[in-house]
Amino acid sequence: MFAFIFKRILYAIPIALAVAAVCFSLVHLAPGDPLTAVIPADAPAEVVAAIKQAYGMDRPLVVQFGAWVQRALQGDLGLSVATGRPVMGDIALALGNTLLLAVAAAVIGFGGGIVLGTLAAFFNGRWIDKLATAIAITGVSVPHYWLGLVLVIVFSVQLDWLPSMGAGADGSGEWRWDWAHLQYLVLPAVTMCFIPMGIVTRTVRATVAEILNAEFVSALRARGLGALAITRHVAKNAAPTVLSVMGLQFGYLLGGSILVETVFSWPGTGFLLNTAIFQRDIPLLQGIILVLAMFFVALNLLVDVVQTLLDPRIKRS
Amino acid sequence: MTNASSTTAAAIAPATVVAPLRSRGYWATVWLRLRRDKVSMGCAGLLLGLMLMALLAPWLAPHDPAQGVMSQRLAPIGTPGHWLGTDELGRDMLSRLMHGGRMSLVMGLLPVFIAFVVGTGLGVVAGFFGGWLNSVIMRTTDVFFAFPAVLLAIAISGALGAGFANAIISLTLVFIPPIARVAESITTSVRNLDFVDAARATGAGAFTLIRVHVLGNVLGPVFIYATSLVSVCMILAAGLSFLGLGVKPPVPEWGLMLNTLRQSIYLQPWVSVLPGLMIFITSLCFNLLSDGLRSAMDIKR
């Protein structure tokens, strides 16, 4: 088991490097020179050369990549082409907001999904099962950015209960745990919770239903154990599968929040990414993708390790 | 001799892997089961209707989708002559929704189709030949799995810039790795079955083995998996347009229409949500149909 965990951790290193390479190559995927945004069209050749040198773009690609990785490891992701500020500071600030939103959406989505999925499995074929299945399929089919707009129309435009955009009334961007700030979190978090809720409901329902059919559960019932004790046994056996799905979904919440953040002008990484795309600010784009992808790599690693610890029978190639 | 035995093996193939052989044939049985499923048939009918509507939009639409009347901007739903209202430039919503379906459906289906062809090819080659070829192909897909799908699509699209072709490229790249992974795992399990060994022993070459024995078992499950990706692709494609990374105005496309109408939610909220409703209905139908197809093909149970 520990040999597997060790191998899994070692395997994350080449993956992380390859991910960094993909992020790095994004610059060269972009049409035209990555510095066109800062160099005027009529700039003399020596000025162009000087700027290229300042951004380190006059050296061979492999050297650039090596230097980039080295600096990234020290937390330096370069300067924004649009603002001239270090990219890392902006990303760190935005990442906090995105994490807040993702955790809120995960709490609602995972909690709802576990309850609905368990109920659906225990009451197989009854109305609650049908309801849970309907919610699950709707959750995975609904374009969440559209759902966000509908919620804004109902709760902000029509009812005027909740604010529709931003993360705080004063616009300082500083988060505090009071209703004045929390109310900004409600709509985006509810919007984002639907996909993970649908997927967790499906997973829990299938896993729990399978366990309930297992012989050992019949044996427990025959011995006269109550519903609570049986639920405890079922939960223990369902945990590895459900946890791995939730880990993956949390990663998607972090990396896939761009559309919802754009709808609600939530000042997170997705909103920043949107800005980077439209200002053609490639260093910023590169930095955000790298940070989010590294989070995802680490999360996948964590899920695999936790899953192995919970259920040592799991052996993978 | 070789031919005779490989045909026999092919006939046994679905029996050993997928389902017990019936006199009716596997696919005929699947079709029969699917036809009894009311939800699936309803969704299939609705999707067929949507496709026909999109295809025949130039002849069916009551107005020109690009021609607006400035004095009739943001008319509400139910306005005579514009039954679904008008958009922020006074263009007829019904006509634009009909025309918008063309781009949206193409952007939802084409990437998955290309990814199905390329991904299955890569997966089968990796699974069948194994060794270093498998390592190269599968470790490359691992790298793509290290990105959340939405992020990867937006990153590639964002770097390439807006446009129809770029959106198709980025979406295709997102869907190749998962399809390749599924195809590889099925191929690996089929490769060592007795009937494949038997065919190999009679002298069948790699190409024949893949064409006759492997593909027959791999295509079905991979196809089912690919159909489940169509709704994801629809939502993601419209999402790219919603961010301004897909098709460019004035081309009618549901995601792009949703984006431009976003400014009008205070004036005409229910007209603004119509394009998103179309995306929702289409993606829901694809999901339900894919689920129905999966259970229809699952004959063992």
**CATH number of B142's domain:** 1.10.3720.10
Distance from CA of B281 to the nearest CA of A (A): 8
Q: How many CB atoms lie within 10 A of CB B113?
A: 14
Binary contact (A256, B148; C-beta < 8 A): yes
The alpha-carbon gap from A255 to the nearest alpha carbon of chain B, in Å, equals: 6
Cβ of B161 within 8 Å of Cβ of A252? The answer is: no
Out of B143, B242, B269, closest to residue A19 by CB? B143
Does residue B181 belong to any structural domain of this protein?
yes
Residue A123 belongs to a domain with what CATH number? 1.10.3720.10
What b-and-e string marks burial along B194-229, b requiring 16 or more CB atoms within 10 Å of the CB?
ebbebbbeeebeeeebbebbbbbbbbbbbebbbbbb
The yes-or-no verdict on residue B112 having pLDDT over 90 is: yes
A151 inside 8 A of chain B by CB: no
The mean pLDDT value for B277-293 works out to 90
Q: What are phi and psi of B253, to 5 degrees?
A: -150, 140
pLDDT (tens digit per residue) in A133-189: 888 888 888 898 888 888 888 887 778 777 777 766 555 556 666 666 777 788 888
Mean pLDDT (chain B, rounded): 81
- The answer to whether the beta carbons of residues B279 and B234 sit under 8 Å apart is yes
- The answer to whether position A18 is within a domain reads no
Report the number of secondary-structure helices (H) and strands (E) in chain A: 12, 0
Inter-chain CB proximity B158 and A277 less than 8 Å: yes
Rounded (5°) CA angle B73-B75-B103: 75
Asked whether residue B35 is assigned to any structural domain, the reply reads yes
| Domain region containing B219 | 31-60+84-297
pTM of structure: 0.83
Q: Judge whether A70 lies within some domain.
A: no
Q: Is a pLDDT exceeding 50 seen at residue B77? A: yes
- Name the region of B75 (left: φ>0; alpha: ψ -120 to 50; beta: rest): beta
Q: What is the pLDDT of residue B4?
A: 41
Measured between beta carbons, the chain B residues lying within 8 angstroms of A259 are 150, 239, 242-243
CA distances from A175 to A100, A102, A164, B250 (A): 10, 15, 17, 40
Within an 8 Å CB–CB cutoff, is residue A12 touching chain B?
Answer: no
Question: Is residue B174 assigned to a domain?
Answer: yes
Q: What is the pLDDT of residue A281?
A: 79
Confidence of residue B14 (pLDDT cuts 50, 70, 90): very low
Residue B13 located in a structural domain:
no
Chain centroid to CA B79:
35
How far is C-alpha B58 from the chain's CA centre?
Answer: 24
Tell me which of B134, B140, B147 to substitute to probe the interface with A (most A C-beta atoms closer than 10 Å): B147
**Closest chain B C-alpha to A220 CA, distance in angstroms:** 26
Residue ranges of A 284-313 with Cβ closer than 8 A to chain B: 285, 289, 292-293, 296-297, 300
Q: Is residue B24 part of a domain?
A: no
Dihedral class, residue B149 (left if φ above 0, else alpha if ψ from -120 to 50, else beta): alpha
Distance from CA of B158 to the nearest CA of A (A): 5
Q: Does residue B20 sit within a domain?
A: no
Could you give the CA distance from residue A142 to residue A139 in angstroms, rounded to a whole number?
A: 6
Distance from CA of B11 to the nearest CA of A (A): 32
Ranked by mean pLDDT, the top range of B65-79, B197-211, B240-254, B276-290 is B276-290
Query: Given an 8 Å threshold on Cβ–Cβ distance, is A143 in contact with B279?
Result: yes
* CA B206 – CA B31 distance, rounded (Å): 31
> Within a 10 A sphere around the Cβ of A232, how many other Cβ atoms?
12
Task: For residue A275, give both structure tokens.
Answer: 């800005």
Q: Return the number of other C-beta atoms located less than 10 Å from residue A212's C-beta.
A: 16
| Cβ separation A142–B238 shorter than 8 A | no
Q: What is the mean pLDDT of residues B18-26?
A: 58
Looking at residue B16, what is its pLDDT?
44
Give B300's pLDDT tier (boundaries 50, 70, 90).
low
Residue ranges of alpha helices (H) inside B243-301 are 254-261, 269-272, 274-297
Tokens, residue B131: 């060794």
Q: What's the longest Cα–Cα distance across chain B?
A: 79
Give, in order, the Cα–Cα distances in Å from B218 to each of A92, A226, B128, B129.
45, 45, 11, 15
Predicted local confidence at residue A31, as pLDDT: 65
- Evaluate whether ipTM surpasses 0.85: no
Report pLDDT for A161. Answer: 75
Q: Which of B172, B173, B194, B191 is nearest to B183 (CA)?
A: B191
Query: Does B265 contact A142 at a Cβ distance shorter than 8 Å?
Result: no
Q: Which of B146, B160, B284 sits opposite A15 (nearest CB)?
A: B146
Rounded distance between C-alpha atoms, residue A309 and residue A311, angstroms: 6
CA distance A146 to A194: 12
Of the candidates A22, A29, A258, the beta carbon closest to that of B150 is on: A258
pLDDT in tens, B179-202: 998 998 888 888 878 887 788 778
For B100-114, what is the mean pLDDT?
91
Do B280 and A18 make contact, defined as CB atoms within 8 angstroms?
Answer: no
pLDDT digits (tens, 9 = 90+) for B237-260: 988 888 888 888 788 888 888 888
> How close, in Å, is residue B8 to chain A by CA atoms?
34
Q: Does A152 touch chain B (CB under 8 A)?
A: yes
Place of tokens 């002008």: A265
In a domain, A266, yes or no: yes
3-state secondary structure of B92: strand
Asked if residue A4 belongs to a domain, the reply is no
Are B242 and A270 in contact by the 8 Å Cβ rule? The answer is no
Nearest to A188 by CA among A248, A251, A267: A267
Instruction: Render pLDDT for B168-177 as a digit per residue (tens, 0 to 9).
Output: 999 999 999 9
Partner-chain residue, chosen from A30, A146, A289, that has the shortest CB–CB distance to B258: A146
CB B237 within 8 A of CB B171: yes
* Integer Cα distance of A65 and A86 in angstroms: 18
Instruction: Tell me how crowded residue A66 is: count the other CB atoms within 10 A of its CB.
Output: 12
pLDDT of residue B118: 94
Provide the residue type at B152 as one letter: L
Chain A residues lying within 8 Å of B286, measured CB to CB: 141
Q: Quick one: pLDDT band at residue B9, thresholds 50, 70, 90?
A: very low
B70 found inside a domain? no
Contacts of B233 in chain A (CB under 8 A): none
Q: Does residue B63 surpass a pLDDT of 70?
A: yes
Gap between the Cα atoms of B39 and B291, Å rounded: 10
Which residues of chain A carry a pLDDT beneath 50? 316-317
Structural domain range at position A274: 88-280
The total domain count for chain B is 1
Closest by alpha carbon to A125, among A229, A59, A212?
A: A212
Nearest-Cα residue of chain A relative to residue B288 = A137
Q: B150–A292: do the CB atoms touch at under 8 Å?
A: no
Q: Residue B162: what pLDDT?
A: 82
User: Using 50, 70 and 90 to split pLDDT, how confident is the model at B5?
Assistant: very low
Q: Report whether pLDDT(B6) > 70.
A: no
Select the residue of A15, A145, A254 nearest B142 (Cβ to Cβ): A15
Let me know if residue B124 belongs to a domain: yes
**How far is Cα A76 from Cα A85, in angstroms, rounded to an integer?**
11
Q: Is the CB of B142 inside 8 Å of chain A's CB atoms?
A: yes
Task: State whether B272 and A152 contact (CB < 8 Å).
Answer: no
Nearest CB partner across the interface for B269, out of A31, A141, A153? A153
Residue type, B208: T
The residue among A191, A263, A277, A302 with the most chain B CBs within 10 A of its CB, best to mutate, is A277
| Domain count across chain A | 1
